[in-house]
Chains A and B, each alone.
Chain A
Amino acid sequence: MTAVLVIEDDDRIRLALLLALEEEGYTAQGAATAEEGLRQQKEHPADNVLVDLMLPGLDGYECIRRMRRDDDVPIVVVSARDDTHDIVAALEAGADDYLVKPVAVKELTARLRALRRRGRARTTPVTAQVFGDLEISEEAGEVRKAGQPVPVTRTEFRLLCELADHAGRVLSRQQLLSRVWGYETGDERLVDVHVGRLRQKIEDDPANPRHLVTLRGLGYKLQR
């Protein structure tokens, strides 16, 4: 059974989400504040976290940031806000996806399933791929830079593997959305912010990336 933590200050929304998720076969627990959510996640780590942005006390952004310090659990924001500013800020804080209320439960569970995947089914096992000082080991689920392990979230890792599989070739934002997030069509900001986050971790100079480069109007590619 997959465990989901719902951090939401609106009692009715939280209750309805817990009921609906349990109905879908999840083990769901709720938290009314960010502090409580962080404590619960530390004590009983869930497999997925849903978080609202408007929370009393610590807000959703800070909650995501703190949780990200030592946890690579997929975090999905469920918020009534839909400004680009809010979406980008939440993704930059470390969220894996962003859903605007009201979200259909079917859509929500589809997102959760997509984010929980780790790696993809392969016929031929691949050894570690090397890009200069960057080493991606899909089997070990590990990224090393100059020999040192780089902490990446599951979503960042899948994004990196997808790009590594097509090394030297361009993948459009829509292709990446479909392969990494499972969206048939979706918000391209998701890709852009995740690429930015990855660059912070794997590039010497994130402003002038050497490995993960942008091709204007086309997409991204990973190169040596």
Chain B
Amino acid sequence: MTRLGLRARVTAAFAVGALLLAASMALFSYDLTRRSLLEERERTAVRVAYFDAAVVRSGLDTDEPDVVEVLRSLDTGSGRRPLLQINESFHARAAEVVGDDPVPESLRRMVRGGEPAVQRVRLNGQPTLVVGIPISATISYYELTSLREVEDTFQVVALTLTAVAIMVAGSGAALGWYATRHSVRPLTAVADAAERIAAGDVTTRLDPTTDPDLTRLSSSFNHMVDQLARRIERDRRFAADVSHELRSPLQTLAAAASVLTRRREHQDERTATAAGLVVDEVARFQRLVDDLIELARTEQPAQRQSVDVAALARESCRARDLPENLVHLAPGTPARWQVERRRVEQILRNLLDNAVRYGGGPVAVRLSAAGDGVGVVEVDDAGPGVPPADREVIFDRFVRGRAAHARAGTDGTGLGLALVAEHAAAHGGRARAENRPGGGASFRVELPGSLS
């Protein structure tokens, strides 16, 4: 069974509570009303019965009394029925049908004993009040008063009270729903904040609240996010710190390596080969450290400015001894984009290097616009293409595609495409690898918000 939500439970509790309260109030008021109405009715009935009994007594105070006539002379309306018991036989008005035993035995005994008495009975399914008044030792007068009207009144009252109880319960439920909406609202804020943090925005904090009941929630939530942010920052800083620490020894190595290169002709063959290895590896080490530092820096959002991307692309080609006419600016696409220069430069540089190393050299650098101001940089190569299984992972850190593994001894750092992806992400975009219909791979970088 699925557990009900907090709101549903609170609402149900409110409804049940309200119903219980309303129902007990209703029962109490019903009972009170009923009792006072019945007492009132009883008093009236007894008073009237005494009066009628006096009339009957005087009517019977003749030599040959006509019992039926006496009873008929009573002005009883339709609500009351007189009954006269003389010895053991009952006399009623002729037209009226008297049940077999309208007057309970206990009542009869009391009246026969000379005491007036009252009792409520059900007669032919009708609630009836029986009042008994002794007239003489052998004669008792009974009056049967229908309580139907009173019962009807009770029904109306009961109905009304039930309706009220149901309405109160409904109001209770509504109140509960409304109240929980307010008390659940801080939870909604927490959920929103958590979502933003999960999406990578660790600067998100809950507003410090003045509500004493919620201060603890918001302060402990914010404390948690602080801790989280600090830990993330520490991990990020670690890679950056290590890289920075490597810079000084690398400077010594770089300078010493350049001396070895310069002195190559003075070295014997084996020394020269060893020196060459040292020089090459120092250069690779240096690129790796540069890329690691760059990667630690990519967390920050792009700082956009107006950049002539077409000129930058041509410049990037020129710096790699590649022909400038590789660069194609799609018709209608402006040359100046709103991007961060350094990042786009690295995107171009790394994609071109990637094409040179693994893709048999770049065949085109295409700059175009997609809808909504998205600037698109594509670098096509003439290599074997990227297998579908590798298309996502080649943008991960230190992952090289199969093509790269096939060419062992490469001088790549394994971070070039990861940096491309990070720089694209810093612009709110992404990087993808596709295969071109004519063969070869196409690396596509989308930079939203570059073209206004």
Write the residues of chain A forming the contact surface with B, with a CB cutoff of 8 angstroms: 10, 12-13, 15-17, 19-20, 23-24, 78, 80-82, 100-106, 184-185, 188, 217-218
Across the interface, which residues of B come within 8 angstroms of A102, CB to CB?
A: 247, 250-251, 253-254, 286, 289
Q: Is B267 an interface residue (CB 8 A)?
A: no
Assess whether B255 is in contact with A19, with CB atoms less than 8 Å apart. Answer: yes
Quick one: closest B residue to A17, CB to CB? B255
Asked whether A103 and B259 contact (CB < 8 A) given A82-B293, A217-B305, the answer is no
A29 to B253, CA, bound (A): 19
Across the interface, which residues of B come within 8 angstroms of A185, CB to CB?
A: 312, 315, 319, 345
Instruction: From A13, A20, A104, A184, give the contact of B248 (CB < 8 A).
Output: A13
Interface residues in B, total, Cβ within 8 A? 27
Give the shortest distance, in Å, between B449 (CB) and chain A (any CB): 15
Across the interface, which residues of B come within 8 angstroms of A184, CB to CB?
A: 315, 318-319
Across the interface, which residues of A come within 8 angstroms of B293, CB to CB?
A: 82
Quick one: closest A residue to B319, CB to CB? A184
Q: Is B106 an interface residue (CB 8 A)?
A: no
Quick one: closest A residue to B258, CB to CB? A105
Assess whether B251 is in contact with A106, with CB atoms less than 8 Å apart. Answer: no
Asked whether A16 and B251 contact (CB < 8 A) given A23-B259, A80-B244, the answer is yes
Q: Please provide the 9 A-B residue pairs with the shortest distance between their CB atoms, ordered closest to farther.
A: A16-B255, A105-B258, A102-B250, A80-B247, A20-B255, A102-B251, A101-B251, A101-B247, A102-B254
Give the shortest distance, in Å, between B430 (CB) and chain A (any CB): 25
Quick one: closest B residue to A78, CB to CB? B251
- Using A13-B255, A81-B244, A103-B254 as known contacts, list a sample of 11 further A-B pairs with CB atoms less than 8 Å apart, ordered by residue number in A: A16-B254, A16-B255, A17-B251, A20-B262, A23-B262, A100-B247, A101-B248, A102-B251, A102-B286, A103-B251, A185-B312
Give the shortest distance, in Å, between A148 (CB) and chain B (any CB): 37
A217 to B244, CA, bound (A): 32
Across the interface, which residues of A come within 8 angstroms of B252, CB to CB?
A: 10, 12-13, 15-16
A104 to B285, CA, bound (A): 12
Quick one: closest A residue to B246, CB to CB? A102
Asked whether A104 and B258 contact (CB < 8 A) given A23-B263, A184-B319, A217-B305, the answer is yes
Quick one: closest A residue to B349, CB to CB? A185
A215 to B254, CA, bound (A): 40
Across the interface, which residues of B come within 8 angstroms of A101, CB to CB?
A: 247-248, 250-251
Instruction: From A10, A103, A106, A217, give the contact of B306 (CB < 8 A).
Output: A217
Chosen A-B contacts, 11 in total, with CB atoms closer than 8 Å, are: A12-B249, A13-B252, A16-B252, A17-B255, A19-B256, A23-B259, A78-B251, A101-B251, A103-B251, A104-B258, A185-B315
Q: Is B432 an interface residue (CB 8 A)?
A: no
Assess whether B244 is in contact with A106, with CB atoms less than 8 Å apart. Answer: no
A217 to B256, CA, bound (A): 42
Quick one: closest A residue to B249, CB to CB? A12
Give the shortest distance, in Å, between A176 (CB) and chain B (any CB): 14
Q: Is B397 an interface residue (CB 8 A)?
A: no
- Residues of chain B in range 298-323 having any CB-CB distance to chain A below 8 Å: 305-306, 312, 315, 318-319
Binary interface profile of B, 232-271, with partner A (CB < 8 Å = 1, else 0)? 0000000000001001111111111011001100000000
Q: Is B391 an interface residue (CB 8 A)?
A: no
Most buried by A among B249, B252, B286: B252
